[in-house]
Structure 1
Amino acid sequence: MNADTSRSSRSHASNRNDDTQKAYSIGDTMNSGRSNQQDQTTIKSSTSNTKQQCRYGSNCRQLSDSAHCERFDHPTQTSFLNTPANPDDQLSNMNADTSSSSRSHASYRNDDTQKAYSIGGSGTKQDCRYGSNCRQLSDPTHCDRFKHPTQTTSAFGAAASSDDRLSNKNFDTSSSSHIHTKHGDDMQKAYSIGAAIALESLSQQDQISIKTMREDAIIIVPGTFDHIDRVLSKLNLKYTTVQQYEVINYPFRTYQTVYINCASSFPKEGAHRLRELVEKGLNIITTDWALKNVLQVAFSDFVQDSGKSTRDEVVGIEVADPNHPFVKGFVSAAKHAEPQWWLETASHPIHIVNKEKVKVLIRSQALYDKYQSDAVIVTFDCGQGNVTHMISHFYLQRSETPNSRHKMGAQQYAEDIKASDQITKLITKEGQDLNYAQIQSSSTSAQFIYNLLSNRLNSTKQSTS
């Protein structure tokens, strides 16, 4: 999935799902790094009584979306599926050519899925155009329809894991003055080592809490663009997956922490239910577009989307509240150089509404200089629960080396943080080709997740003891 670094890993949107884009906003696309839409049909005012014809017709994957159907007309659909497509089906179709982006919706976006809808009940499987590089090998519905060649075992130890497919996201360094990671494989290695560094920094009590936590303590709501599951797998953390459409009725428990990945959409009813559950004690962690799709819907009295969009860029971060337990260990990690965190194209800078209750944990001067909002990670209590949001992703797909120290080898980072001999040996064995910036980015990202989890586990133990 090669991408020029001047563009985003979700940016190549020559005409990404035009109908949906029009339906959600007419004016908003002018400011989006994802817009670049060259194949849009003429749009009328959103208040017009005349419905536009949906360009995908009966093949549209949003026939179950009432808001979409109110705006666009569809011919009668002949379905070879027994049930209408649910929101998860729609998200799972977002497969993009490996020469474009994970956030792309390119002009021929997921041609294979379109074929599947058009060929109806054919018993012969189509060959998936993405082959072993397909990012939907874990989707049984997709695999029922399409054939894939045998995939070799990935770094996670399971065939055709989602992380394996991330290794295709190579970035062209010719357009950048910085040195980017060669490909996703580097960040996979970096996260393996970063996880070990982060775990080592935890207290014995925190390590025991994590090792003995409940099977269902962590809930993941999958998204389109961020993939916390990949990081949790590197951290050897168990989790339960709950799809977006299940959020409305899923029997959440207040001791749980729900990680909501960045996604192109989210059911409003689900967002409002999360607000009710947070007020009763649930903790949620959200990333990137969940600011607009979840927090602005149900927590707009705390934070909102600023209305601006970032470029595909990497920014230096710094600790804003060094005493907060969520960012424990960040100060020592940034002692010699600022960690560099990746922002995908069209990430949403955070507008803080309630400045008394919302705490900024991590900030970025570069972010403020460009978008007049410096918050990278914010957190706030709501009722008996807590919400934490980060503008970036949990899975940082690349880093940059803006100064000489970042260009140094990973061993230098181990020396700077006074890592154990065990970590030093691990880097010598597996991280010789990694640089300082990559290990620093992955270890601080992993540290943040461990901090969130250990703090949550310890607080729930105290409340139930």
Structure 2
Amino acid sequence: MQTTTDGQSSDTNSDPFRSSRSHTNQGDDTQREHSIGGATTSGRSNQQDQTKIKSMREDAVTASPALNTKPECRYGTKCRQQSDQTHCERFQHPAKTASPGATATADASNMKEECRYGSNCRYLSDPTHCDRFQHPTKTSLLGSTAHPSDQLSNKNLDTSSSSHSHTIHDDDMQKAYSIGGAIALERLSQQDQTTIKTMRDDAVIVVPGTYDHIDRVLAKLNIKFTVVEQHELINYPFRTYQTVYINCASKFPKEAAYRLREFVEKGLHIITTDWALRNVLQVAFSDFVKHNGQSTRDEVVGIEVVDPNHSFVSGFVLAAKHAQPQWWLETASHPIEIVNKEQVKVLIRSQALYDKYQSDAVIVTFDCGRGNVTHMISHFYLQRSETPNARHKMPAQQYAQDIKASDNITKLISKDGQNLNYAQIQSSSTSAQFIYNLVSNRLNSTKQSTS
């Protein structure tokens, strides 16, 4: 089994315009056009665009270059697929005119998309990122004023506003998850903590994706897991005591989705995020849930617990007593449409999500045969948080006081979290709590059976 992803069987959900993905996650996808890591804004094309492109492809246009009858690519010179031969055979792009004396290197550089973070980009040392995005040269920076794209102020992507202070630094969220994980672990009983420490190596299976990174969170929480690639799922020897965590990805083998359904009915549990709604659940569990056809923006929404007595969300009520937790949504995340309203339970909802996209479900769960499926519209790895009110702007220590955390947590925040705010710790600790709850409940219910 490999620990990095390979190209998989494609599905209709692949989208080359989830632009913020291009900042990290080297080699996650065969298209290798976008990834996640520390990026914060995105530009997935909408569903209408995808339908239009799909329709053009299905019409089998075989235009002669001489007649110039190929349809024009709607993204023109800014198209990120100009290096894709199949795409260029179907769509026409404006010809590039080289400036006098321009070198081949300069031409190649001009074909790159300009990095919207400019000289402030954190990935200037990442060769994969720099192969795809153009940055200002050191010479051009001398005496030049800051370009608007260097700032996190693109109004079209709603990445800043006067009432919301973004906390988007990846290193901050890494620290937040370390502290949030410690807070969440304290909420577990000693028995649950021991169960997690002694769990099987293969009790948790992680299927790598393109955009979410549950493996990062599990590592921070010291939860053991085994990595199984998408294509390996088709023949993987599942055990019914296992839980499979499926990261958000641009595509997923349909055969693997159908096989997961088969084993869920026998007792397997699966946890999915974001685009897995369309690539996995809508394929093999369409009698329960599906994508409602809309797409979110890159945004942070307040969440609230629907069923406080459900074991999966234990601890959330206390966490939200003084301020509503804020969870991040990736651009073009898929809102959930519940097909089977009798069997599908909404565990966490968001009023803001409903107001914008006519679906309030953030986390849903349902039994299928002897197994269970849990899906969340967001990612396990929350890249950032926001501070919509005064309490969210308070230091992390205030959150520790609000939930009556132990002295050990207070000392940990004093040592490692002095620069973190309330919202960051609240977001990371509730995300970590959800994962701990999932794992401990599953381990206790199966008693590590080898059935």
Report the TM-score when normalising by structure 2. 0.71
| 1:183 CA displacement | 1.0
**Distance in 2 of aligned mates of 1:350 and 1:460:** 29
**Distance in 1 of aligned mates of 2:345 and 2:416:** 37
Structure 1 match to 2:417: 431
Which residue type is aligned with residue 59 of structure 2?
S
Map Cα deviations across residues 285-339 of structure 1 (whole Å, 9 max, x no partner).
0000000000000000000000000011000000001010000000000000000
Segments of structure 2 that go 5 or more residues without pairing to the other structure are: 1-17, 24-30, 32-41, 64-69, 74-79, 92-111, 118-122, 130-149
Which residue type is aligned with residue 35 of structure 1?
S
> Are 1:176 and 2:161 counterparts?
yes
Structure 2 match to 1:375: 361
Cα 1:255–1:339 change in 2 (3 A) is same
Cα 1:414–1:293 change in 2 (3 A) is same
Segments of structure 1 that go 5 or more residues without pairing to the other structure are: 1-6, 13-19, 21-31, 63-67, 74-95, 102-129, 137-168
Structure 2 match to 1:244: 230
Structure 2 match to 1:355: 341
Which residue type is aligned with residue 244 of structure 1?
Q
> Are 1:133 and 2:148 counterparts?
no
Q: Is the 8 A contact 1:9 1:344 kept in 2?
A: no
**Distance in 2 of aligned mates of 1:414 and 1:223:** 33
Q: Is the 8 A contact 2:160 2:166 kept in 1?
A: no
Structure 1 match to 2:319: 333
**Distance in 2 of aligned mates of 1:426 and 1:170:** 32
Quick one: which of 45, 48, 55 aligns to 1:35? Answer: 45
Which residue type is aligned with residue 20 of structure 2?
S
Structure 2 match to 1:449: 435
> Are 1:412 and 2:398 counterparts?
yes
Structure of greater relative contact order (alpha carbons < 8 Å, 6+ residues apart): 2
Structure 2 match to 1:118: none
Structure 1 match to 2:59: 48
**Distance in 2 of aligned mates of 1:385 and 1:197:** 30
Map Cα deviations across residues 40-74 of structure 1 (whole Å, 9 max, x no partner).
x9886454355689999998599xxxxx9xx989x
Which residue type is aligned with residue 407 of structure 1?
K
Structure 1 match to 2:115: 99
Structure 2 match to 1:107: none
Which residue type is aligned with residue 176 of structure 1?
S
Determine helix, strand or coil for the equivalent of 2:427: helix
> Are 1:296 and 2:312 counterparts?
no
**Distance in 2 of aligned mates of 1:406 and 1:219:** 34
Map Cα deviations across residues 193-251 of structure 1 (whole Å, 9 max, x no partner).
00000001001111111011001111100010100011011101111111111111111
**Distance in 1 of aligned mates of 2:262 and 2:116:** 39
Determine helix, strand or coil for the equivalent of 1:223: coil
Structure 1 match to 2:271: 285
**Distance in 2 of aligned mates of 1:283 and 1:266:** 18
Counterpart mapping for 1:102-251 below 5 A: 132-133=125-126, 175-177=160-162, 178-251=164-237
Structure 2 match to 1:254: 240
Q: Is the 8 A contact 1:10 1:345 kept in 2?
A: no
Identity %: 75
Structure 2 match to 1:141: none
Map Cα deviations across residues 89-128 of structure 1 (whole Å, 9 max, x no partner).
xxxxxxx989369xxxxxxxxxxxxxxxxxxxxxxxxxxx
Q: What's the C-alpha RMSD, in Å, of the aligned pairs?
A: 3.5
Determine helix, strand or coil for the equivalent of 1:247: helix
**Distance in 2 of aligned mates of 1:401 and 1:274:** 39
Q: Is the 8 A contact 1:291 1:389 kept in 2?
A: yes
| 1:11 CA displacement | 9.2
Which residue type is aligned with residue 433 of structure 2?
Q
**Distance in 1 of aligned mates of 2:161 and 2:389:** 14
Which residue type is aligned with residue 259 of structure 2?
R
**Distance in 1 of aligned mates of 2:184 and 2:423:** 15
Aligned residues: 352
Report the TM-score when normalising by structure 1. 0.69
Structure 1 match to 2:98: none
Which residue type is aligned with residue 254 of structure 2?
K
Structure 1 match to 2:20: 9
User: Based on CA coordinates, which of the two structures has the bigger radius of gyration?
Assistant: 2
